Homo-oligomer: A and B are copies of this chain.
Amino acid sequence: MKAEIISIGTELLLGEITDTNASYLASQLPLLGIDLLWVTQVGDNLGRMREVLERAWGRSDLTLTSGGLGPTEDDLTREAIADMLGEELSVDPELEQWLRGFFSSRSFSMPKSNIKQATLIPSAQAIPNPRGTAPGWWVERGGKLLIAMPGPPGEMQRMWEKEVSPRLRQRMGRQIIVSRTLKTFGYAEAAVGELVGPLLSSSNPSIGIYAKPDGIQLRITAKAEEKQVAEEMIAQREAQVRSILDESIWGTDDETFEAVVGKLLSQKGLTLATMESYTGGLLAHTITSVPESLTYFKGGIVATSDEVMVSFGVDAALIAQHGAGGPEVAAAMAEAARSRLAADIGLGITGATRPTEAGQAGRVYIAIDDGKNKRVAGGTYPPLLPELKRRATYHTLLELRKALLSNK
Binding site for B on A (CB under 8 A): 10-20, 22-30, 36-43, 45, 48, 52, 70-74, 105-108, 111-114, 130-131, 152, 154, 188-191, 193-194, 200, 208-211, 219, 274, 279-289, 291, 293-294, 297-305, 307-308, 311, 340-342, 354-358, 360-361, 380, 382, 384-387, 389
Contact = CB atoms under 8 A, between A and B. Distances in A.
Contacts of A284: 280-281, 284-285, 302
Given A16-B208, A298-B308, A300-B301, 8 more contacts: A12-B39, A14-B27, A15-B23, A70-B189, A106-B382, A112-B194, A154-B387, A291-B355
A155 to B, nearest CB: 11
Contact of A302 (B16, B74, B189, B288): B288
Among A15, A209, A287, A303, find the residue whose CB has the most chain B CB atoms closer than 10 A: A15
A311 B385 CA distance: 31
A274 B360 CA distance: 29
Contact of A15 (B27, B38, B360, B389): B27
A293 B108 CA distance: 36
A123 B212 CA distance: 32
Contact of A40 (B39, B45, B303, B340): B39
A285 B280 contact: yes
B22 A41 contact: yes
Contacts of A382: 106, 131
B41 A38 contact: yes
B39 A193 contact: no
Contacts of A194: 111-113
Nearest to A130: B358
14 contacts: A15-B23, A15-B28, A16-B210, A37-B45, A71-B189, A72-B190, A113-B190, A113-B193, A281-B287, A288-B302, A289-B386, A294-B305, A298-B304, A299-B303
Contacts of A357: 291
A247 B124 CA distance: 42
Contacts of A311: 340-341
B304 A294 contact: yes
Contacts of A354: 291, 294
